[in-house]
Amino acid sequence: MRVLAAMSGGVDSAVAAARAVEAGHDVTGVHLALSKNPQSFRTGARGCCTVEDSRDARRAADVIGIPFYVWDLAERFHADVVDDFVNEYAAGRTPNPCLRCNEKIKFAAVLDKALALGFDAVCTGHYARVVDGPGGSRELHRAVDPAKDQSYVLGVLDAAQLAHALFPLGDSLKTEVRAEADRRGLAVADKPDSHDICFIADGDTRRFLADRLGTESGPIVDTSGAVVGSHSGAYGFTIGQRKGLRIGDPAGDGRPRYVLDISPVNNTVTVGTAEELAVSEVSGDHPRWCGSAPTGEFECLVQMRAHGEPAPASVRYDAAQSVVTARLSSPARGIAPGQTAVFYDGTRVIGSATISSTRRASAAAQGVSASA
């Protein structure tokens, strides 16, 4: 196959490209320039897409012996990922930009361009597995290394995209990948993994949002409506947050308080107890299925954070309304609109949906719906 290997400049994508060559594919490397004004050097393990990363990717391609190009997708990335991230926070939701990048950039913009240029597949360094299913279908599964599994952030891929996806690292442990990079003479063998949000290199999300959304003071209230503090922008909070609330007076029972609700309409943040965070049901829109869309109600595991524990749930997909509803077998805490629910059948990824609302366990017990 003709394979386009997306090379970030890190060890995972470099080894993935090398393995694709070793498997007999005709491989071309490409580095995605996603920043309008890339820094020269990365700060430790924060961020990516720097000039240094581009050079590391080029050097890796030279060692592997494959052609290498840089594609400028900065404008598309800013519109589809960065602007979406800011807009979601402004609306009181908590987005995951990695999922949006995989959906809109790596497996939409890049894959579409690759196919137009005559490539058969896009190869990345994600830790996940694509397995041949019944009838020639392809299934997305968790990686062998549970600590590095990235199937959650790939849960937005549909069947057509999976048909052209190559994940050579899915059957390996991270320690094996680093050792292999060293054996292959790749200088990135010991390069730190990037983490946090790639376009916020210093990790200060609140300041990043304030620079784009400005500041506007508003109240922090408890569930009775009593004002217990103030803030400079509701977008700076997320459901389940405990630290950084800057509430002057302790709760009456002395227990810590958490963010329960964010209302951008009146710029109000509501706080309460840990018990009040408990959610028994989530509803989601923007469903994406990694194969055929399910019908009726089905039992599965649902994961609602990139590094969260999957929980048993009963799920129903309303195709007419394009809404997915998951009733959790046990209440979960800190679930926020904007996050993504990814549905699993064992290790297989069924699909995903963006959480639009939740129903708190306390409200469900009273037969009352509550939006978090």
Q: Tell me the catalytic residues.
A: 101, 198
**Rounded Cα distance, 273 and 108, in Å:** 42
Contacts of 22 (CB under 8 A, 6+ apart): none
Distance of CA 120 to the CA centre of its chain: 25
Q: State both tokens at 11.
A: 């060890």
User: Could you tell me which of 111, 44, 45, 110 has the C-alpha nearest to residue 73?
Assistant: 110
User: Could you tell me which of 180, 169, 174 has the C-alpha nearest to residue 141?
Assistant: 169
21 in Cβ contact with 64 (< 8 Å): yes
**Rounded Cα distance, 336 and 305, in Å:** 10
101 in Cβ contact with 124 (< 8 Å): no
User: Could you tell me which of 198, 197, 194, 185 has the C-alpha nearest to residue 14?
Assistant: 185
Other CB atoms within 10 A of residue 135 CB = 5
CA atoms within 13 A on the CB side of 54: 15
CA atoms within 13 A on the CB side of 359: 17
CA atoms within 13 A on the CB side of 22: 10
